[in-house]
Structure formats: C-alpha cells, structure tokens
Amino acid sequence: MSVTAARTVTIAAPLEGVLATVRDVAGQPQWWPGMLGSEVLEEDEEGRVLRARITTDVKVLTDTFEVAYEHPDDGLSWSLQGSSRAQRAQQGSWSLIAEGEVTVATMRLEIATSVPLPKLVQRRIVGDAVADAAAGLQRYCEAPAT
C-alpha cells in the first residue's frame, strides 16, 4: 500500500525561472530539505536529466536510489528505478501554472515504503517531505539574486 501527499504554493517568480529550478536536478539539494545529494546519470540531447541517483534523509534512515525523469511542458515528473532501502515504488511530480508574474507550483508524491512503519507515521513522513520541498522551492525562487 502506498502513501500519497500533495502541496501547492504560490511563488512570486515567473514560470520560466521556477521551471528551470525544478528541472536542475543536480541543484535540487540547495533548496529541497532532506535531499542530501543528486548525481546526474543520464541526460538527453537537450541537456535535460533523464536519470539520477538521489540520496535523501527520510527521518528514519538515509536512502539512496535511482529515478527516471520526464519533462512535460508544465513541470517535471519522476519514478523510482531499481532498488531502494526504504521504498518499493515512488511516483512524483512538479506541476507549474503561470498566473501573471507568479507561479502556482504543486508537488505530488506517492511512495510505497518497504520500511515496516505504522501508516500514520508513513503519512507524516511523506506529508512533511512534500511540504518541506514546496516551501524550500518557494523560498529559493523568491530569494533576492546575489
């Protein structure tokens, strides 16, 4: 059985910048709390990431796993590939909508865990991860350029 969470935030930044941030898989640890590392394994001819090895701190353990990415026009989606200590499956996405000079960003994440934790704890971990990622993206994209 899987756990699903979603979070929507309004970011005071244009869509193009938010989309570039989300698709910069190697740079995600700069703003995504709990993401300890992101190693790009494969890119397409346009330089978009197709596969990466991600290391995360999921509160109960550190997990390293591979994901495959797709690049729809309005965001980024991914799915777990190969093995993971904490997950049997993962599907995630960022969907972005331009509303004038702001961007509405929605993150969705569905994880089937392999760690024997109560469902309440699993929901909390996944929900917190999604909320933290959405808030991190918002802070990063709204920060003044240095």
Domain boundaries, the chain: 3-142
Give the per-residue pLDDT at 87.
85
125 token code pair: 């971990």
Q: Contact, 8 vs 32, CB < 8 A?
A: no
Say which CATH topology domain 3-142 has.
Alpha-D-Glucose-1,6-Bisphosphate; Chain A, domain 4 (3.30.530)
Give the per-residue pLDDT at 61.
82
Give the per-residue pLDDT at 83.
74
Q: Is the pTM of this model over 0.85?
A: yes
pLDDT tier for residue 119 given thresholds of 50, 70 and 90: confident
**Among candidates 96, 112, 81, 132, which has minimal Cα distance to 22?**
96
pLDDT tier for residue 125 given thresholds of 50, 70 and 90: confident
Q: Contact, 54 vs 37, CB < 8 A?
A: yes
What single DSSP character describes residue 144? Answer: P
